[in-house]
A and B are shown apart, each in its own frame.
Chain A
């Protein structure tokens, strides 16, 4: 069930996009139909279609007549490029805003990022 920010069709499109980036749906393989998504997530079928169509318009999914919806070649790259563009607004700016509220100087922020990176490695 969707309870987050934004209209449900956008949330559904974001979820499918996440699963393409994450490798759940490989390129040139079928994704579930809008109806399947509607039943699985318990959302209105028209809403689910709207979410799927959003990805069709982006060129991430395409329709094979009579067979179903497929992930387009290059879809993953397309989504990654788009998400990199959003990275600054979605992650960098809130990070810097919070750091400034907490009086964390830039030098400390840089070393924190380095530390986290080492932990992840």
Chain B
């Protein structure tokens, strides 16, 4: 399978701060890829560059084998709606729906109509008066109805109610199976969206921490929990990503796969081992390196 996205040694700095620091990654064509990480990790910067709205300071980003910046033929194959997308002051939904096909050659009006209806997007209210959830809804309409070969969805869930989130998943999967494309979706609602992904990227501080197929994430980290002493003993020579202590109990997220040695050690000392969930993995990679005991207590933000 060829790659929809190929990023090589890409950095992007704003003044002195490095938003992206030498990242290299690929996303295969036809994948639904979760782009995960904390606020400020660099998710939106990556999407902006892929959508040709920004350029790397160094390195390259290619979409379908070409650099997207000022590249009309590639840009017509990309849909990107920023989480803070601005619309002209007097715009209402019908203005957006009328102009959108100009930018999206595969535009499907039926998908758009079904979503506008399902999301209950108000037709007569100017978009500038929309609530956060309504803005997210219109962004999803644009993203899905574009049927763009590369669809970038930046925080599509912000403010969306639970019915709308289910509708989004439903429409995404139905339309994706009928018209396969590559979707990159950034979100903090990991548990709710992880089943959608076949690939996962975890970014932290402008660097790629995890890039793999989603059924491989179970081998990347595990949690060990039990009494403080036992957990410390069992995890002594392992890389602790995140730990959390309450009274006599300790839980630690450890990088790597569980092996037989560890299993028997855990049995001997009465600690529980469980594979880390994707959510725990993202929290762990976003945590600062564990510091002395007192400081790690609050680290599970």
Contact = CB atoms under 8 A, between A and B. Distances in A.
Given A7-B215, A35-B177, A38-B177, A46 B169 contact: no
Nearest to A50: B215
B207 interface: no
A9 interface: yes
B61 interface: no
> In terms of DSSP, what is the predominant structure of the interface of chain A?
helix
A9 B215 contact: yes
A41 interface: yes
Given A44-B32, A44-B195, A44-B198, A39 B174 contact: yes
Interface string B169-202: 1100110110000000000000110011110000
Contacts of B198: 44, 46-47
A45 interface: yes
Nearest to A12: B195
A3 interface: yes
Interface in B67-82: none
B164 to A, nearest CB: 14
A80 B205 CA distance: 51
A30 interface: no
B291 to A, nearest CB: 32
A121 interface: no
Residue among B170, B192, B215, B218 with most chain A CB within 10 A: B215
Contacts of B169: 42
A43 B215 contact: no
B195 A45 contact: no
Given A3-B191, A8-B195, A38-B177, A44 B214 contact: yes
Given A2-B195, A3-B191, A39-B170, A45 B215 contact: no
Nearest to A45: B177
Nearest to B197: A44
Given A3-B191, A9-B215, A42 B166 contact: yes
Contacts of B215: 7-9, 47, 50
Nearest to B193: A42
A45 B176 contact: yes
Contacts of A3: 191
A7 to B, nearest CB: 5
B191 A45 contact: no
A9 B215 CA distance: 9
A42 B177 contact: no
Contact of A42 (B191, B195, B218): B195
A8 B260 CA distance: 24
A39 B177 contact: yes
Interface in A6-57: 7-9, 35, 38-39, 41-47, 50
Contacts of A9: 215
Nearest to A41: B195
16 contacts: A1-B195, A7-B218, A35-B177, A38-B173, A38-B177, A39-B174, A42-B170, A42-B173, A42-B195, A43-B173, A43-B195, A44-B196, A44-B214, A45-B176, A46-B198, A47-B214
Interface of B: 32, 166, 169-170, 173-174, 176-177, 191-192, 195-198, 214-215, 218
